Structure 1
Amino acid sequence: MRAFKSWYEDAGVRVGPRRRPGDDLDKKFFPEHLIPHLGHPLVQDAPEELRRYLSAQHLYQWLNFTAEFEVAVVMRATQQIADGRSGVPLARELRRDAMRICVDERYHALYSVDVVDLIEDSTGIPSLPYDFAPFLAHLDGVGDSYPQHRELVQLLQVVVFETLITSLIEDVPKDPEVMTVVRDTVRDHAEDERRHHAYFAVFFKELWAQLGSSERELVSRLLPEVIIRSLQPATQAARAALGVAGFSAAHTDQIVAESFDRTSVMAGIVVASAKTVALLERCGVLDLPGARERFQNAGFTTVR
């Protein structure tokens, strides 16, 4: 497809430099407005050194999550597409584009953990252990009642995640108060993801066109929860960082509960998934009986 015609000239893995920390390590690790618990009154009143520690851990968590997600979720489904095992017959070039995406995603995983290592070494702030398994189990749990459709659920996961547009991708590269290495890393990722977004929009149209009526109905039932679980913030890392920073268990519970309240979280999910929902609308997913109501009942207030 057109988005990949210049892949050999433009893909980050082909032409991008290795991003290293510069001489601006005194800048922020991450935009503070994108770290929910940093805005909590109990954290706002904490010493700046402690807040900086929490910001570093949030960056590490995001980079480690990215590395794990790209391999465990995105590549898992995309490799099936590349190998012709997805159940969706595709032209050879579309399968080769899927293989190019696999290369991109493995590279994204590599440079994500590389940046963690480099920032740890440069700042002396170690990264706390990160466990991706609970998030993956929660995400895959959407399809637990439909084991015969496990591969289909995995395809939906990658379509959803690769068509989302989060504020992080837009905000971080533009924030002059954030370390250059972080801004450049997010910008590199975003440039590749624009191609991936275009690809999976096309792929979903192909997938939807080939599904039978019963499978379409199932997809319309699963998609609201797939979107929500893909974007729900995993709070274990925040809890761990708050505990190490010295907050009591009671204060940690309070900070997490009030910083990640359901209303605020769902509002963020609705904004981030707007492009994905628009794709579903164009393909006719929301026109199935009951589909629009299911999205509305799940909290997608922009669906009409």
Structure 2
Amino acid sequence: MVRDDSTPPGPLDRWYEQAGVRTGVRRMFHEDAERGKVFFPAALVPYTAHEAVRDLPAERLRELTVRHLYQFLLSTTHLETRVVNAAAEPVANGRAGLDLPAGLRLDAFKVYCDEGYHALYSLDLADQVAAVTGIAVPGWDYGGFVERLRETGRELLPGAPQLAELLQAVVFETLITAVLNEVPADGTVAGPVRDLLRDHARDEGRHHRFFALFFKELWVRLGPADRARTARALPALIRAALTWDLGPVHASLRLAGLDEDTARQVVADTYGAGPGDRRLNEMARATLRLYATVGVFELPGAREHFAAHGLGDGSDAGHEERV
């Protein structure tokens, strides 16, 4: 689609010149060049500070940080393709039940291509790290997490599974992901890891803007009843997206030599019952502000409903936390 002079610039207008899948290079490990580097900073792995973990042999601690990198990479391969692309495809193909501008549909295909590429290079990097370190890539498929998201959508928006998928993608693509910002700036981390996460962050910045525009287009097309039930669903969708799958953490701790009871205790002590309200609001700050721009919080009872879930309107969130 060619934009006329009256069409505001879009976040993906220069996709052919800027997207990683169009211009990027394959990030490759060269073992000699990366000697002395870590694969993931221990400071960003919260359970390594636990008293039951911190005194493990250095090699076991190193394995935990590598598997934490695998967690991030594998969750990318699954969630980008099974959550984000599950929403991008019907938008792109005009199957979302919405009369959307042609340019937005073309942009949805660009997102679809990007997310597939993110999945590819994340798995590729995990395999390279495994070859260099000898630490196997676990078979974590995040199926339980994906199904929990879907079940949450079915419960909150009965009879509207596609609307739930669209809203979940908006949440995922507008949340703040500290790892993408912090790791590339850490000179102690192996270069290919830093470069790949920097590549990913560039694309995700454009995706954030795309999904913000998409949500605004979606919102104006919802009738009053659908807006009301969407507003009631949004807080729980945010919580579901930010209540992470702790199965891989538990499995990694067991592989490091902790017994079952100790591994369970470390997970419980580190992550508690889920994200606290402060962390929730920090991670969802941009998402909440997006909702505010379209008037979600002006609907009767919406602000109170968000507050009941521990969420504000994005105006009082602090600085982002590590995840």
TM range (shorter): over 0.9
Query: Larger RCO: Structure 1 or Structure 2 (Cα < 8 Å, ≥ 6 residues apart)?
Result: 1
Aligned match of 1:183? 194
- Give how far 1:265 is off: 4.5
Q: Partners of 1:139 and 1:2 in 2: how far apart? A: 29
Match of 1:75 in 2: 85
Contact 2:250 2:267 in 1 (8 A): yes
Q: How big is the shift at 1:231?
A: 1.6
CA contact (8 A) 1:70 1:105 kept: yes
Equivalent residue number for residue 293 of structure 1 = 304
Give the C-alpha shift of residue 227 in structure 1. 0.9
Q: Percent identity?
A: 40
Separation (CA, whole Å) in 2 of partners of 1:249 and 1:175: 33
d(CA) in 2 for partners of 1:240, 1:285: 40
Instruction: Report the Cα distance in structure 1 between the residues aligned to 2:144 and 2:190, rounded to whole angstroms.
Output: 30
Equivalent of residue 259 in structure 1, options 254, 259, 270: 270
Aligned counterpart, 2:19:
11
> Could you report, residue by residue, the CA deviation over 1:22-63 in whole angstroms, capped at 9, with x for unpaired residues?
321532222223212112121112121111111111111110
The answer to whether residue 252 in structure 2 is matched with residue 241 in structure 1 is yes
| Higher helix content, 1 or 2 | 1
Superposition deviation, residue 164 in structure 1: 1.2
User: Match for residue 217 of structure 1?
Assistant: 228
- Give per-residue Cα distances to partners, 1:96-128, cap 9 Å, x unaligned: 011011010100000000001111011111112
Instruction: Name the residue aligned to 2:97.
Output: 87
What SS does structure 1 have at the residue aligned with 2:11?
helix
* Shift of residue 165, structure 1, vs aligned partner: 1.6
Structure 1 CA distance for aligned equivalents of residues 193 and 239 of structure 2 = 26
1:142 aligns with 2:152: yes
Q: TM-score, normalised by structure 2?
A: 0.90
How far does the alpha carbon of each residue in 1:217-239 deviate from its partner, in whole angstroms, 9 at most, with x for none?
Answer: 11111111111111222110010
Cα 1:301–1:48 change in 2 (3 A) is: farther
Equivalent of 1:56 in 66, 81, 84: 66
Greater displacement, 140-149 / 4-13: 140-149
Structure 2 unaligned regions, length at least 5: 1-8, 317-323
Deviation track 1:245-299 (CA, whole Å, cap 9, x = no partner) reads 1101111111000100247554322211100000001111111112111211112
**CA shift for structure 1 position 144:** 2.2
- Aligned partner (choices 123, 126, 129) of residue 113 of structure 1: 123
In structure 2, distance between residues paired with 1:294 and 1:6: 39
Unaligned runs of 5+ in 1: none
What per-residue deviation string (whole Å, max 9, x for no partner) do you get for residues 172-223 of structure 1?
1111111111111111011011111111111101111111111111111111
Tell me the SS of whatever aligns to 1:17.
coil
Q: How far, CA to CA, are the matches of 2:34 and 2:278 in structure 1?
A: 34
**What letter is aligned with 1:212?**
G
Partner of 1:166: 177
Residue 43 in structure 1 maps to residue 91 in structure 2 = no
Match of 1:32 among 42, 45, 49: 42
Q: Give the direction of change, closer, same or farther, for the CA distance of 1:220–1:203 in structure 2 (3 Å limit).
A: same
**Which position in structure 2 is the counterpart of 1:156?**
167
Secondary structure at the residue paired with 2:251? helix
* Distance change >3 Å, CA 46–CA 266, structure 1 → 2: farther
The correspondence for 2:210, drawn from 194, 199, 212, is: 199
Conservation of the 8 A alpha-carbon contact between 1:232 and 1:269: no
**C-alpha contact (below 8 Å) 1:82/1:96 kept by paired residues:** yes
RMSD, matched Cα: 1.5
Cα distance change of structure 1 residues 230 and 139 upon mapping to structure 2, 3 Å threshold: same
Amino acid at match of 1:246: G
SS for the counterpart of 1:89 is: coil
Q: Give 1:96-107 correspondences, 5 Å limit.
A: 96-107=106-117
Q: Is the 1:54–1:242 contact (alpha carbons within 8 Å) kept by the matching residues of 2?
A: yes
Q: Aligned equivalents of 2:165 and 2:24: distance in 1?
A: 30
Q: 1:268 is aligned with what amino acid?
A: R
- Find 1:123's aligned residue among 123, 127, 133: 133
Q: 1:148 to 1:107 in 2, by over 3 A?
A: same
Deviations 1:46-98 (A, max 9, x none): 12111111111111111011000111111111011001111221111111011
- Pick from 2, 21, 29 the counterpart of residue 10 of structure 2: 2
1 CA distance for matches of 2:54 and 2:309?
32
